[in-house]
Structure 1
Amino acid sequence: MTASQTVYLLLDLALILGLARAMGALARRFGQPAVIGEILAGVMLGPTLLGEELSRTLFPDDIRSLLGALAAVGVALFMFLVGMELDVGLLRGRGRATLSTSLCSTLLPLALGAALAWPLMPSHHQGEPIGFVLFFAVAMAVTAFPVLARIIADRGLAATKLGTTALACAAIADVMAWALLAVVVAVATGGQLEWRLALLVPYVVLMVTVVRPLLRRASVLGPREPGGPAAGRNFVALVLGGLLLSAACTEWLGMHYVFGAFLFGAVMPRGTQGKLRDGVMDRIEPLCGLLLLPVYFVLSGLKVDLSRLSVSDLGELAAIMAVAIGGKFLGAYAGARMGGLDGRQSAALGALLNTRGLTELVVLGVGLEIGVLDNKLYSLMVVMAVTTTALTGPLLRVILPGQSAGRTGVRGDAGPGPVPLQQDDGATAHVPPRRGRH
C-alpha cells in the first residue's frame, strides 16, 4: 500500500466514523435506532446525493477494496454477535402463539416475495432464475433480532408477554431465514450443490457436539484479570480466531462466510446468567459497532443510487414495500390470532416483526455479491429495509397508545444492561438490548 493510499484510507475512515456517529445521534433524537442514521450516512456519501464523480473522488476504487476488507471483518463480527444473542432460553415454555406467529410471519412473506419476484425477473434477475426467486423470497422474510430487542426494551415491553413472544418469534424466524439463505446461496452460485449441502450438515453437528463443549471448557480454564469481565483476553482471542475459522470454512463450502460466523456465535456458551456471553460481547462489540460496521454502511450506501429512478422503478418500490410490510404484518397478525392473542397484541407483533435493520442489509449484500441482485433492485431493497425499520416505532405508538415509550436510546450507545425477560412459566431469561444499534 502506497503512502497516498494510506492517507486516503485514514481520512476516509475518519469521515465514515464522524458522519456515522453524527447521523446515528440524529436518528436517536427522533426516536429511531442509530442504525437508521448510519445507513443513511452511507447513502449520503454515495451517488444519490453527491453524484458518481464526487463519490468516486472521495472513495476511489483502490480505497474501496481496502475498506471492503475491513467491512467483511465487521460483518463477520456482527453475525457472530447476532448468533450469540439468539438465546434458546427464549424458546423454552413458548406456547401456541409463538409457533403459529413464527410460521405465519415467515411463510407468508416467503410466498408473497416469491410471487413478486416473477414480474421483477425480466428486468432485474441475474444468473439462475430459481436462485433469484428464492433469494427475493428470503429477503422479504427477514427480521432483525438485535434491533428488535432494543426497540422492545425502549418501549417498556421487555417483561411483557408481547415482548417475549416477539423476541422468540424473531429468533425462530431468523434461524429459518439464515438456513434458507444458505440453501439459496448454494443454488444461486451453482455447481456441486449436493456436495456442499452434504458437508454442511456434519459441519453443524461438529460445531454443536465438539466445538461448543471445547469452548465451555476453555472458558473456565483460562486466567482472568482480577476484577475484570467474565471473558479474559486469552479466551476472547480464542473466540475471535474460532469465528474467523468458522467463517472461512463456510465460505470454502460455498455458503458465504456470514453463516460460519453466525453459527459460531450460536454455539457459544453463555456462562452463569449469561455473564460469559456479555463479557465476550463487551470486548468485541465496541470495535465492531464504532468503526467496522459504519464502514460496511458506507460501502453499502455507495452502491445505492436513487437519483435515476423512473416512474416504473417507483412502481416497483411501491410493490416491494407493500409485500414487505403487508406480508410480515398480516402473517404475524394471523398467526398471533390463531395462537389466542387479541387484536391489539397481534397488530403490535406485526409491527415489531417488520423490523429489518442491518440484518436485511447483510442479506442484500450477500445477494449483490453473488450476483443475484442488480444495483437498481439492491437500491430499492435498501430503501425498503430502512423504511420498515423506521416505521416500527410510529406504528407501535398508534397500536399501543397507552404504552410507555421507556428509554429512547438518546443517552448513547452504552444502553442498559441485560434485560430480564419474564417467561410464561415464571423463569427468567436474559436478553441484552445491545447498545441500540442493529
Structure 2
Amino acid sequence: MTTNQLFALFCDLALIIVLARILGAAAQRLSQPAVIGEVLAGILLGPTLLGHSVPEFLFPPGVRPMLTALADVGMAVFMFIVGLELDRKILRGTGRLAVTVAVSCILLPFVLGTLLALVLAEEHAQGHRLGFVLFMGTAMSVTAFPVLARILTDRKMQHTPIGGLALACAAIGDVLAWCMLAAVVALVGGGGGDQWLLLLLVPYAGVMVWVVRPLLRRLVVAGGSRLTPAVLTVVLAGLLVSGAVTERIGLHFIFGAFLFGVVMPKESTERLRADIVNRIGDVSGQLLQPVFFIIVGLKVDLSDLGGSGWLDFALILLVAVSGKFVGAFLSARAFRVTARQSAVLATLMNTRGLTELIILTAGLQLGVLDERLYSLMVVMAVVTTAMAGPLLAVLRPRALADQDPVIPVRNAQPPATKR
C-alpha cells in the first residue's frame, strides 16, 4: 500500500463515518431507522447525483478494494449478530399463527418474485436464467429481523402481542430466507469448479452444532457468562473462520458467520449476548457497516434509467409490497386477528433494511444481478423500509396503542440490535 493510498483510505473512512452519522441521525429524527439515512449517504456519494468523476475522485479505484474488504467484514459481523439474536424463546407460545404468517410472507412474495423475474429475465438475466429467477423470488421474500426489532423498540411495541408475533414471524422467515438463498448460491455455483465441496456443508453444520456449540458453552460457563477477553477472542475468530469455511466450500461467507451466531449458547447468557452486541456491534455499526453502505451506494446508478427503467422499478415495488402485505394480512385474518392488527403486522413484515442489502450484494457478487437491476432493488429495499414508520402512525395511532386487542401469542423481548 502506497502513502497516497493510505492517505486516501483514512480520509475516506473519516468521510464515511461522519456522513453516515449525520444522515443516520437525521433519519432517526424523522422516525426512520438509522439504516435509511446511512444507505442514502452511500447513494448521495454515488454516480446517481454526482456522476462518475466525483465518486472516482473521492474513492479512487486503488482504495475501493480495501473498502470492499472492510465492508465484507462488516457484513460478516452483522450476520453473526443476527444469528446470535435468533433466540428460541422468541418462538415460544406463537403456535400455528406465527408459522402460518411466516410461511405466507415467504411463499407469496417468492411466487410473485419469480413471475416478475420471468418478465425481467430477457433484459437482466446474466447467464444462469434459473438462478436469476429463484434469486429474485428469494430477494422479494426477505424481512429484516434486526430492523424490525429496532422499529418495535422505538415505537414501544416490543411488549405488545402484535410485536411478539412480528418478531416470531420475522425469526422464522429469516431462517427460511437464508436457506432459500443458500440453495440459490449452490445452484448458481459460487464455488466455481469445486462445487463438490458443497457436500461438506452438512457435516460442517453437524460439527458446529454438536462439537462447537458444547465447547462454546464450556467457555462461556468458565468465564462466568461474561464477555472476558478469551470469550471475545473466540467469538471474533470463530465468526471469521466459520465465514471463511462456507466461502471456501462454495457458499457465501455470510452463511458461516450467521451459523456461528446461531450456535452460540442462548440459555442464561442474556448479559453475555448484550455485551457482545454492545462491544462488537458498536464497532461494526460505527465503522464497518457505514463502509458497506458506501460500497452499496457507489454501485447504485439511477441517472440514466429512462422510462423502461422506472417501469421496472414500479413493477418491483408493486410486487415487493403486495406480496408481503397480502401474505401477512390474509394469513393473520384467517386466524381471526382483527383487520387493524393484521394490517400492522403486514406493515412490519414489509421492512427489508440491511438484510435485503446483504442479499442483493451477494447476488451482484455472484453475477446473478446486473448493476441496473441491483440499483432498482436497492431503492426498493430503502422505500419498503421507510414506508413502515408512516404506515404504522396511521394504522396504530398512539391513542389506540393501549387498546390493541389481545391475539394468541406470548410477548417476546426484542433483541438488542441497533439496526
Q: Structure 2-normalised TM-score?
A: 0.95
AA in 1 matched with 2:166 = A
User: By how many angstroms is 1:339 displaced?
Assistant: 2.4
Partner of residue 44, structure 2: 44
1:10 maps to 10
Structure 2 equivalent of residue 25 of structure 1: 25
SS of match in other structure, 1:332: helix
Amino acid paired to 2:237: G
For residues 323-376 of structure 1, what are the alpha-carbon distances to aligned partners after superposition, in whole Å with 9 as ceiling and x for unaligned?
Answer: 000000000011111223121111111100000000000000000001000000
Aligned equivalents of 2:401, 2:70: Cα separation in 1: 36
Structure 1 distance, partners of 2:398, 2:231, is 46
Which residue does 2:362 correspond to in 1? 366
Match of 1:212 in 2: 213
State how far apart, in whole Å, the 2-side matches of 1:114 and 1:299 are. 27
Inter-partner Cα distance in structure 2 for 1:179 and 1:403 = 40
In the other structure, the counterpart of 1:155 is 155
Shift of 1:42: 0.3
Matched, 1:248 2:249: no
Partner residue of 2:66?
Answer: 66
For the 8 Å contact 2:46–2:55, the answer to whether it is kept is yes
1:11 deviates by 0.3
Task: Pick the aligned partner of 2:317 from 285, 297, 321.
Answer: 321
Runs of 5+ unmatched residues, structure 2: none
Q: Within 2, Cα distance between the matches of 1:217 and 1:355?
A: 37
Give the length in aligned residue pairs: 415
Alignment of 1:264 onto 2:260? yes
Q: Which residue of 2 aligns with 1:134?
A: 134
Aligned-residue offset at 1:106 = 0.6
1:88-111 Cα shifts (integer Å, max 9, x gaps):
111122122211101111100000
**Equivalence for 2:204:** 203
Q: Using the alignment, how far apart are the partners of 2:416 and 2:338 within structure 1? A: 26
Deviations 1:166-206 (A, max 9, x none): 00000000100001101101111266797344321222222
Give the C-alpha shift of residue 24 in structure 1: 0.3
Distance 1:256 1:22 in 2: 32
How many angstroms does 1:401 deviate by? 2.4
Tell me, in whole angstroms, the C-alpha distance in 1 between the residues paired with 2:413 and 2:272: 12
**Alignment root-mean-square deviation, CA:** 1.9
> For the Cα contact (< 8 Å) 1:336–1:346, is it kept in 2?
yes
Return closer, same or farther for 1:197/1:342 CA change in 2, 3 Å cut-off. Answer: farther
Please state if 1:146 is matched with 2:129.
no
What do the CA deviations read for 1:368-399 (whole angstroms, capped 9, x no partner)? 00100000000000000000000001111111
Alpha carbons 2:164, 2:412 under 8 Å: kept:
no
Separation (CA, whole Å) in 2 of partners of 1:131 and 1:317:
20
What code does the residue aligned with 2:379 have? V
Deviation digits for residues 221-243 of structure 1 (CA, Å, limit 9, x no counterpart):
24x7xxxx921121111111011
Aligned counterparts of 1:251 and 1:423: Cα–Cα separation in 2: 42
**3-state SS of 1:277 partner:** helix
* Shift of residue 403, structure 1, vs aligned partner: 5.3
Q: Percent identity of the aligned residues? A: 53
Is 1:306 matched up with 2:307? no
Question: Displacement of 1:28 after TM fit?
Answer: 0.7
- Shift of residue 319, structure 1, vs aligned partner: 0.2
Compared CA separation, residues 21 and 404, structure 1 to 2 (3 A): farther
* Cross-structure match for 1:101: 101
Superposition deviation, residue 17 in structure 1: 0.5
User: Is 1:293 aligned to residue 296 of structure 2?
Assistant: no
Structure 1 pair 425/369, CA: closer, same or farther in 2 (3 Å)? Answer: closer
Asked whether the equivalents of residues 194 and 249 of structure 2 are also in contact (C-alpha less than 8 Å), the reply is: no
- Correspondence for 1:432: 415
Counterpart in the other structure of 1:167 = 167
Tell me what 2:82 maps to. Answer: 82
| Secondary structure in 2 matching 1:431 | coil
Cα distance in 1 for residues equivalent to 2:384 and 2:2: 42
2:62, 2:286 → 1: CA distance? Answer: 23
Distance change (3 Å), C-alpha of 1:269 and 1:63: same
Q: Give the whole-Å Cα distance in 1 for the aligned partners of 2:199 and 2:331.
A: 33
Please state how far the C-alpha of 1:431 moved relative to its aligned partner.
Answer: 2.8
Tell me the secondary structure at the aligned position of residue 61 of structure 1: coil
Counterpart of 2:303 in structure 1: which amino acid?
A: S
1:280 aligns with 2:281: no
327, 330, 338: which is aligned to 2:326? 330
- Read off the aligned partner of 1:45 and give its amino acid letter: L
Contact 1:36 1:390 in 2 (8 A): yes
Helix, strand or coil at the partner of 1:126? coil
| 1:149 Cα deviation from its structure 2 partner | 0.4
What do the CA deviations read for 1:266-316 (whole angstroms, capped 9, x no partner)? 111135251121122121011100000000000110000011111010000
Aligned counterparts of 1:277 and 1:10: Cα–Cα separation in 2: 31
Cα pair distance change 1:231/1:271, threshold 3 Å: farther
Question: Given that residues 162 and 345 in structure 1 are in contact (C-alpha distance below 8 angstroms), is that contact kept between their aligned partners in structure 2?
Answer: yes
**Pair 66,15 (structure 1): closer, same or farther in 2 beyond 3 Å:** same
> In the alignment, what sits opposite 1:350?
346
Gap runs ≥5 in structure 1: 407-421
**TM-score, normalized by length of structure 1?**
0.91
- Distance in structure 1 (CA, Å) of the matches to 2:334 and 2:262: 30
For the 8 Å contact 1:397–1:403, the answer to whether it is kept is no
The answer to whether the 8 A contact 2:195-2:249 is kept is no
In 1, are the aligned partners of 2:94 and 2:409 still within 8 Å (CA)? no
Q: Is the 2:167–2:414 contact (alpha carbons within 8 Å) kept by the matching residues of 1?
A: no
Q: Is the 8 A contact 1:196 1:253 kept in 2?
A: yes
Letter in 1 for 2:206: V
Question: 1:229-240 residue pairs with structure 2 within 5 A?
Answer: 230-240=226-236
By how many angstroms is 1:155 displaced? 1.6
Distance 1:27 1:186, change over 3 A: same
